Amino acid sequence: MSDNLVCIKDFEVHAHEVLSRNALDYYRSGAGQEETLIQNNRAFSRYKIRPRCLRNVANRDLSTTILGEKVSMPIGIAPTAMQRMAHPDGECANARAAQALGTVFTLSTIATSSIEEVTKSAPNVLKWFQLYIYKDRKVTTSLVRRAEQAGFRALVLTVDAPMFGLRLADIKNKFTLPPHLKLANFDGTKSTDINKNNEEGSGLNAYVNSLFDASVTWEDIEWLKSISTLPIVLKGILTAQDAIMGVEAGAAGIWVSNHGARQIDGTPASIEALPEIVKAVGNKVEIYLDGGIRDGTDVFKALAMGARMVFMGRPALWGLAHSGEEGVKKILTIIKTEFDYALAISGCANISDIKPSMVVHESYYSRL
């Protein structure tokens, strides 16, 4: 029963007990020695909330807009691959949960539920499509066309993955997609089989290296804009320089992310990278963040530091592993409630009441 699971950590512990080693290690692991994976979570504790008192917070509104569309809360679902390893309904259940909570769902290119299946399962969810650029541009073009036809409202271009990082757990496990599952967006094409080159290490890395285009540059964003009118969000930005270049290339949004600490170890935690990006382009485009969001106070801190929206990947997987759609709904409800409490007790009745001065780095107090 989920009644005894009252925070995201509880669901994570449960997922560790029920998922197969192959799936669990794929979902939870990071690159290298996983220092950045650890810091994604710990870095939030180094930022302190400065609550304001005696403000009227009796009536609160958690809603916001994202690329002009209203959502019930500034918390969305990040793209994660192969979700049917966590639950038979996979991405479809995740999308239905986002629909029920009135927030945005982002579908991974390498999903185990197709673009069309997700749309049929959750016809009213606000949905974005995460995209990689393949060596064969026809593959990418086809994915974009299908996403457009299915009513997706933005393309989330992952820019930090010319190849996938070295995830030691996947190499040790010789990670494979279970035989009853498939990369659903490529069913019937040569791009569907991630296990055929799995003699050494992770089958997923072999798949990526064989099909993803490591030669992609900023000029390819112009190409992507030429084939679609959907707004483009650049996911995987960690520096002000790249954020500026992204805006100059025509991005509608900058998604601060280190890919769940799965690409290269030793990068900053996402929340640590956020301030310089906000300073560089925060007045020009919307800025989003993922990586380490595990509590409503994390959401509050990210918004105070300039993010418009935060996204969660692994927590939704832990919800799926527990009870599919109901588990993800529980995860979203928990963090929404935690954020509501953080908002009220910090003296805010709505998102616009959250001010930059309300969150400071812990070093602020060592200087006093």
Q: Using one digit for the tens of pLDDT, what is the confidence trace for 292-327?
A: 999 999 999 999 999 999 999 999 999 999 999 999
Mean pLDDT of all residues in the chain?
Answer: 95
Look up residue 198 and give its two tokens.
């799995």
Q: What is the pTM of this model?
A: 0.96
Q: Would you place residue 205 in the very low, low, confident or very high pLDDT band (cuts 50, 70, 90)? A: confident
Cβ-based neighbours of 76, under 8 Å, separated by 6 or more: 66, 98, 103, 104, 105, 106, 309, 310, 311, 312
| List 14, 87, 180, 259, catalytic entry | 259
Between 367 and 60, the more confident residue is 60
Is residue 259 annotated as part of the catalytic site, yes or no? yes
Question: What is the pLDDT, as a whole number, of residue 198?
Answer: 53
Sign of the CA dihedral 324, 329, 334, 338? positive
pLDDT at residue 196, rounded to an integer: 58
How confident is residue 356, by pLDDT bands cut at 50, 70 and 90?
very high
Asked whether the predicted pLDDT for residue 140 surpasses 90, the reply is yes
Q: Could you report the per-residue pLDDT of 25-71, keeping only the tens digit for each? A: 999 999 999 999 999 999 999 999 999 999 999 999 999 999 999 99
CATH number for the domain harbouring residue 194: 3.20.20.70
Instruction: State residue 201's pLDDT score.
Output: 65
- Residue 237's Cβ-side half-sphere holds a number of Cα atoms within 13 Å equal to 31
- SS3 (DSSP) at 300: helix
**Rounded Cα distance, 327 and 117, in Å:** 20
In this prediction, residue 211 carries a pLDDT of 85
Which residues touch 145 (CB under 8 Å, ≥6 apart)?
none
pLDDT value at residue 61: 98
Domain count, the chain: 1
Confidence class for position 117, pLDDT limits 50, 70, 90: very high
308 vs 187: which has the higher pLDDT: 308
- Domain membership of residue 203 as a residue range: 2-366
